[in-house]
Structure 1
């Protein structure tokens, strides 16, 4: 709801305002349930003026989706400092910050929303996944990943997406636990791959060698050892 004297905006400034308003509405409700009239009212302008800047709801939706995609991709950017497990934990914290704050919008981004199946939406989703993939490889210090490592990283990114979508339906697992579980999922996928491939085993050994006693990967190992019956572990 707007108050006070309206200020005339330039074309690009008004477009960016409408994108921000639409993204805020899409973040709290399904884009299918948000009308152009609501977007216009929230922006403090008339419905015809919205159409002056965007030819239709789909084009505005795609512009808002692009901003959300850029924001989500930025969540995977992390300084190359400290052990990998701690870095991934910070990344997952920011990732779930986005998911938690943009529930319907995140679902729309991952599922396509009103633009499901469109080449534009698919390209946005792929760009987020590729940005995340490149960032994880950078943290591993690898530019030319072997096939099994590519499989691990891309599988983990898909797992994080699907886990977040399921979690949004009721948020039945505490968020902090889910962040840690996702980091453990990465280690688990890497460990299974390492059991079949010596190159992956070398990568995993290097990761674990840099892991502190209180790190998330060490915690996973401790938890797994605790699951082994005493007569088998002795």
Structure 2
């Protein structure tokens, strides 16, 4: 972040600088708690000059939100190569990278922005959710224009679960992040498996998706953990965390 430095910039360069400064401030505190004076000071310009580029904090917030939403949507982009479980684990890792780096801003984004939100902010949130939804269907080799009803339910439920999990995790970070990333991958597998138990088309999609899953892959790890529920055994260690006893 630039502080206390004044230099002449072109219009677009200055606007992008202000967006970056605002996003950085919003990443550490709620947008409602950040003033235009603070943004001006961090950018090394006067308060009136901020208003020269943006008519008010809401418009600057929405510009910062646009950049954040684009970055968050990009976190779901992953080449369709290798086992599905490993791909999902990389996606959840990048998703939590963003959440970790932009905690207050992420919370504000998902809750509609400052002071009750705006239609623009809500539309951006929907764009991020739709981007995640489309990417997951693409990884399952299913046309986003007309997925089976049960698959749409599974994918949209999982996107909502990932969002809620991240928001709750930010409130104290009481569960190790790497465990939650793996748990979210397992959540997707579990949701899909339950749906597949009711529908042959879903079963075929799931089996195709995990056809190249290795014995030590994320979904195989899920099966190993579930198999111990009825035995009182010791769950496999997760991301360097010692195994824990699972009660029946």
TM-score normalised by L of structure 2? 0.90
Structure 2 partner of 1:48: 48
Question: What displacement does 1:119 show?
Answer: 1.2
Give unmatched runs, 5+ long, in structure 1. Answer: none
Map 1:67-82 to 2 at 5 A.
67-82=67-82
> Are the aligned partners of 1:80 and 1:139 in contact in 2 as well (CA < 8 Å)?
yes
- Map of 2:177 onto structure 1: 175
Matched, 1:205 2:207: yes
Distance in 2, matches of 1:26 and 1:117, equals: 15
Q: How far did residue 91 of structure 1 move?
A: 0.2
- The answer on whether the counterparts of 1:58 and 1:115 sit within 8 Å (CA) in structure 2 is no
Deviation per residue, 1:96-133 (Å, 9 max, x gap): 00000100000000001215342101110000001111
* 8 Å CA contact retained: 1:31, 1:108: yes
What is the match of residue 192 of structure 1? 194
Which has the bigger relative contact order, CA under 8 A and spacing at least 6?
1
| Stretches of 4+ aligned residues off by more than 2 angstroms | 1-4
Structure 1 residue matching 2:7: 3-state secondary structure: coil
1:85-96 counterparts in 2 under 5 A? 85-96=85-96
CA distance in 2, matches of 1:146, 1:65: 32
Q: Which runs of 5+ in 2 are unaligned?
A: 233-248
CA deviations 1:172-230 (Å, max 9, x no partner) are: 11111010000000001001111111111111122232210010000001100111248
Aligned residue for 1:225?
227
CA RMSD of aligned residues (A): 1.3
2:8 paired with 1:2: no
Structure with greater helix percent: 1
